[in-house]
Structure 1
Amino acid sequence: MASGIFAILDDIGALLDDVATASKVATGKTAGILGDDLAVNAEKATGFVSSRELPVLWAITKGSFINKLIIVPIALLLNAFFPAVINYVLMLGGAYLAYEGVEKIVEYFFHKNHHHEDAPKEEVSESAKIKSAIATDFILSIEIVIIALGSVLGADLITQILAVCVVSILATVGVYGIVALIVRMDDAGFSLMKKSPNKGSLYRIGNILVHSLPVVIKILGVVGTIALLLVAGGIFVHSMEFLHHLLPQLPGMIKDFGVGLVVGSIVLIIVTIVNKIKKAFA
């Protein structure tokens, strides 16, 4: 009996070692997309009044967990029975990300306003940002899960499942944990300034944190838009052979950005035409 228990414990220990190793490899493979995920979602989780920042972030985080609960089992099933479908799902998601990135650029340069005039501006902005952030997280989560799964295909099924689950949890907790720290920079700064009024190193650090937040938010807005186009372009470049070999002299990042910009522009034109047709027949 005792030897049987020890054998089971030994098997569990070996499994945990395999999962830890596989998770480490998968996390390394998804590090780039996690950085993009952080930039995109940090930009989406900022711009609210201080009292609403954490509730909004928590709503997005819950949506991210739900996204992972949906994506992980579907990705595992598709990989087992219809692996070719995963590539098309990725490209659809890439098209959405590219569209969102180009739309941000167009809105910035042409000052387009999509808010409803008959609703309170802050309410529309908050609900729209939450929905947009969760939708974007869904697409990015698909890529994170699929890249993580692809890096552990050589392992047994149990190890694959556990490793992908670990990476998914770490991705959500890590990304939104850092985002929470970013959006509370000013509050932390004010707290430090109160503890050392008008003098001392704590006051200077607090003052830097308070004045840095608007700059960080602007930078994240730019980086987040670029990240959307890079991720989208990267999906198409790696999924379509002719794009992968097109203009080999170009650095990969520039090619990814260019492809994302082109795809997003095409999707934006199609969406604009469809919307105009709908209005014409409304």
Structure 2
Amino acid sequence: MAGGLVALFDDVAVLARAAAASVDDIGAAAGRASAKAAGVVVDDTAVTPQYVHGLAAEREIPIIKRIALGSLRNKLVIILPAILLLSQFLPFLLTPILMIGGAYLCYEGAEKVWHKLSGHSEAHASVEQALPDEKTIVSGAVRTDFILSAEIMVISLNEVAGEGFWSRAVILAVVAVGITILVYGVVGLIVKMDDVGLSLSQRPGKGISRFGHGLVKAMPRLLTALTVVGTAAMLWVGGHILLVGSDELGLHAVYGAVHHLEELAHEATGALGGVVGWLVNTLASALAGLVVGALIVLVMNLTVHRRKAHPAGGTSH
């Protein structure tokens, strides 16, 4: 009996060590996968604050929470099962589907640029600020997040492609939860920094008070800058998805030219080669995204938007 208990305890200890090692492996793999997706995580963080820019302070955090829940639902309920099944049974479909999402990001970014240049956003700014539609704000943010989340999850999947099916599922679930908490935690801090500044400005002590006033004055400029960065990020990520995807599908000319320019810049700038090469690749991706997005905006304005503005059977005055 005693020998049986000792053997049982030994078995439990072995299983516990194996489970601990498995948890460590999953944590390490999730960390590697998250690191590879870091660029898109930064873009996601830059894109999101624009959706609450200009809203009443008390509505910012509730809306961010709704967007965060939508993002988590995107990753765990839709994207994770889809990419696992596709990678297992139809891996050749991952790239075209991701490119469709990239084209949508290009369209969103180019449309924002078009609205800014045409004055459309200014013409409707007072109405939008007076009566912000939270449902529209959240649904728009969750749609954009879906594409960025898909890119994050596919990049992460590529990092753990050698793992078994269930290991991949657990690792990607860890990545999904961790990155969502990171992104929307940072976004929440960004949009509430003006409240922190206001609190600090009312405290005794000249240095703290001055720092608080500085935060209050800086935050509107930071949020405006993040809106610009977010738009640029849409074009950059969308364009990069299209360039890399076209290369993977056998159309090497465009991405090959970009890669050649990147290498030339790297070689010509010595110690700064890595940074300059990355900038060249990023600018080329953003330009490609702007071109593709502008074409989609043009097509949409000539078709869908025109039909909405002039419905069949309508009369003009």
1:1-282 equivalences in 2 (<5 Å): 1-69=8-76, 70-113=78-121, 122-196=130-204, 199-241=205-247, 242=252, 243-247=254-258, 248-249=260-261, 251-275=280-304, 276-277=306-307, 279=310, 281=312
Deviation at 1:10, TM superposition (A): 1.7
Deviation at 1:125, TM superposition (A): 4.2
Please tell me whether Structure 1 or Structure 2 has the larger radius of gyration of its CA atoms. 2
TM-score by length of 2: 0.83
Contact 1:48 1:126 in 2 (8 A): no
> d(CA) in 2 for partners of 1:139 and 1:126?
20
Deviations 1:46-97 (A, max 9, x none): 3211111111111111111111121111111111011111111111111110
Contact 2:201 2:212 in 1 (8 A): yes
Deviation at 1:246, TM superposition (A): 2.9
1:184 alignment partner, SS class = helix
Contact 1:97 1:139 in 2 (8 A): yes
How many aligned positions are there?
Answer: 279
Counterpart in 1 of 2:5? none
> d(CA) in 2 for partners of 1:190 and 1:277?
48
> d(CA) in 2 for partners of 1:213 and 1:95?
32
Contact 2:44 2:183 in 1 (8 A): yes
> d(CA) in 1 for partners of 2:225 and 2:121?
21
TM-score by length of 1: 0.93
1:136 alignment partner, SS class = helix
Deviation at 1:254, TM superposition (A): 1.6
Considering only aligned residues, what root-mean-square deviation do their CA atoms show, in Å?
2.0
> d(CA) in 2 for partners of 1:51 and 1:180?
12
2:160 alignment partner, SS class = coil
> d(CA) in 2 for partners of 1:252 and 1:47?
33
1:87 alignment partner, SS class = helix
Unaligned runs of 5+ residues in structure 2 are 1-7, 263-279
Amino acid at match of 2:42: G
Deviation at 1:218, TM superposition (A): 1.0
> d(CA) in 1 for partners of 2:122 and 2:71?
25
Unaligned runs of 5+ residues in structure 1 are none
Amino acid at match of 1:200: K
> d(CA) in 2 for partners of 1:205 and 1:7?
55
Sequence identity, in percent? Answer: 34
Q: Closer, same or farther in 2 for the Cα pair 1:121/1:176, shift >3 Å?
A: same
> d(CA) in 2 for partners of 1:158 and 1:15?
12
Deviation at 1:231, TM superposition (A): 0.2
Amino acid at match of 2:142: I
